[in-house]
Amino acid sequence: MKKIILAAAATLALASFTASVFAAEEVHIPKEQWSFNGTFGKFDRLQLQRGLQVYKEICASCHSLKYVAFRNLAALGYNEAQIKAFAAEYEYPDIDDEGSDTKRKGLPSDYFPNPYPNEKFARASSNGALPPDLSLISKAREGGPDYLFHLITGYEDPPAGMTVMDGMSYNKYFSSGNFQIAMVKQIEDDKVTYADGTKATTDQIARDVTAFLHWAAEPMLEARHSTGLRVMLYMIVFTLLAYFLKRRIWARLDK
């Protein structure tokens, strides 16, 4: 009996040690080129529209977008009629004139709905894990859009000596869970058919949905860049004027 207990303890210790070794590895998130990076960075509207399509067709079945209202989609280049059509694809609880529970079509003022009625149902449908809301995910994770892009595309076979638990997938960028993630691989070539005819490669799909999620988290990014640029120009002009004024004042004093 003692031998069995010792063997079990050794196995558990070895498993814990192996997990800790993998978790201790430093995860390097490669930098990607994004149109919205830098002082003059701007979102690509067509890319954001493709990213919205990817979210609706792939991500929305598990992940909410609770801080994004349909009317916000005007920033992506959609007109009022298109936004009303998007909203009408969803139903929301309501109360009729007699006080009974009923359903109504979505309105532009509504926010993207949660795909699950409650947290317990969400966990039961997702291998015990709670699918995070994606509204602010690009700001909530270190590495931002670079992390999201590589997480989406980082699925592969686990290294030799590592055992992945049932229902989990190995992802070399998901270090917070010992590289084991409850979400299975979602993106692959031709998983969507883009309305604008863009070829739907894995890389393209991942970039488009990442850009869209970064816009969801940073809808005022372009305005902030524009304001920052104006402030910088103002400071440059003010500094030059102050410099020439100083020279003029000191020139008089030197006489």
HEC profile for 207-247? HHHHHHHHHHHCCCHHHHHHHHHHHHHHHHHHHHHHHHHHH
**Domain assignment present for 116:** no
Rg (CA), the chain: 26
Q: Is residue 179 packed enough to be buried (19+ CB in 10 Å), middle (13-18) or exposed (0-12)?
A: buried
Q: Which domain holds residue 229?
A: 221-255
Q: Is residue 231 part of a domain?
A: yes
Sign of CA dihedral 191, 54, 47, 146: negative
Indicate the residue type of 74.
Answer: A
pLDDT in tens, 125-164: 888 889 999 999 999 999 999 999 999 999 999 998 888 9
- SS3 track for the chain: CHHHHHHHHHHHHHHHHHHHHHHHCCCCCCCCCCCCCCCCCCCCHHHHHHHHHHHHHHHCCCCCCCCCEHHHHHHHCCCHHHHHHHHHCCEEEEECCCCCEEEEECCCCCECCCCCCCHHHHHHCCCCCCCCCCCCHHHHCCCHHHHHHHHHHCECCCCCCCCCCCCCEEECCCHHHCCEECCCCCCCCCCCCCCCCCCCCHHHHHHHHHHHHHHHHCCCHHHHHHHHHHHHHHHHHHHHHHHHHHHHHHHHHHC
Confidence of residue 17 (pLDDT cuts 50, 70, 90): very low
**180 located within any domain:** no
The model's confidence at residue 28, banded by pLDDT at 50, 70 and 90, is confident
Q: Which residue has better confidence, 253 or 135?
A: 135
Contacts of 74 (CB under 8 A, 6+ apart): 80, 83
Q: What is the pLDDT of residue 63?
A: 96
80-130 pLDDT, tens digit per residue, is 999 999 999 999 999 988 888 899 999 999 999 999 999 999 999 888 889
The confidence score (pLDDT) of residue 169 equals 93
pLDDT at residue 25, as a whole number: 54
Instruction: Give 168-221 pLDDT, tens digit per residue.
Output: 999 999 977 789 999 999 999 999 999 999 999 999 999 999 999 999 999 988
Residue 86 maps to a domain: no
- Of the two residues 193 and 248, the one the predictor is more confident about is 193
| Residue 142 lies inside a defined structural domain of this protein | no
pLDDT band at 24 (very low <50, low <70, confident <90, very high): very low
- Answer whether residue 235 is part of any domain: yes
Q: Which pLDDT belongs to residue 156?
A: 93
Residue 251: predicted pLDDT: 74
Question: Does residue 237 fall inside a structural domain?
Answer: yes
Number of domains comprising the chain: 1
Domain-located, residue 215: no
Q: In this predicted structure, which of 56-60, 138-142, 154-158, 234-238 has the lowest mean pLDDT?
A: 234-238
What pLDDT shows up at residue 26? 63
pLDDT tens digit string along 66-80? Answer: 999 999 999 999 999
pLDDT bin (cut points 50, 70, 90) of residue 236 is: confident
Residue 131 and residue 66 in contact, taking contact as beta carbons nearer than 8 Å: no
